[in-house]
Chain A
């Protein structure tokens, strides 16, 4: 099972909006509404930011949103803040019954 494809890095200035893409296939991202996104700061465990494509867990800022079109999912962060600087990973359920992560995207807040 190949990892989902994410850009290695994205950047933006405080207050701006950025999007991170996550491209898979019809056997994972395109086949199920089970895409989740995680934020990871250095030396910390990942934190769930979005689940089931577009749902936010309680306590996660509404500046974070998720969507999907075909085999590509996206995480959008609006009103960028310094504390958003971190690594972001997408994740999807796959056929046959496994889970796969993206390679990760490093977000830099300029």
Chain B
């Protein structure tokens, strides 16, 4: 049974950073990519970036370049998303999701078949 279990809700001050974890059940990291997708209150889904844990290669949406870092720890099957310079507009539910990647380019292609439960990050002074 594939499971992605995320860390708990966070409340942060503007200008600070947040790091959210996503622990995968055994075997989930093999041959898949892990992406991070966020959803602001009442808004749609937004892809932030992804990583191929077996390769350690990450790529990011242009909007978040320089502000987000996605990493993966293979021994613990845990992926992380760190977002810095937080502002109120970053208040959202953050999801990790397992997806496929193009083996020729090492890029995430979507096809997110398993999702974490979501982590609410609230940015407020």
Residues on A lying within 8 angstroms of B by beta carbon are 1, 3, 32, 34-36, 38, 40, 45-48, 51-52, 57, 89, 91-93, 97-104
Contacts and interface: CB of A to CB of B under 8 A. Distances in A.
A92 B110 contact: yes
Interface string B109-125: 11111011110000000
Q: Which one of A47, A52, A89, A91 has the highest number of Cβ atoms from chain B below 10 Å of its Cβ?
A: A91
B32 interface: no
Nearest to A98: B61
Contacts of A46: 37, 45, 95, 97, 112, 115
Contacts of A57: 113
Nearest to A33: B109
Interface of B: 35, 37, 44-47, 50, 59, 61-63, 95, 97, 99, 102, 105, 107-113, 115-118
B45 A89 contact: yes
Contacts of A52: 111
Given A45-B116, A51-B111, A52-B111, A99 B35 contact: yes
B44 A104 contact: yes
Task: Indicate the member of A1, A99, A102, A104 with the most B CB atoms within 10 Å.
Answer: A99
Contacts of B118: 45
Given A38-B45, A104-B45, A99 B115 contact: no
Given A47-B115, A92-B110, 7 more contacts: A45-B118, A46-B97, A46-B112, A93-B107, A97-B105, A98-B62, A101-B45
A52 B99 CA distance: 12
A100 B113 contact: no
B112 A91 contact: yes
A101 B39 CA distance: 11
Contacts of B45: 38, 40, 46, 89, 91, 101, 104
A38 B37 CA distance: 13
26 contacts: A1-B63, A3-B44, A36-B111, A38-B45, A38-B112, A46-B37, A46-B115, A48-B113, A51-B110, A51-B113, A89-B44, A89-B45, A91-B45, A93-B109, A97-B59, A98-B62, A98-B108, A99-B47, A99-B50, A99-B108, A101-B37, A101-B46, A101-B47, A102-B44, A104-B44, A104-B45
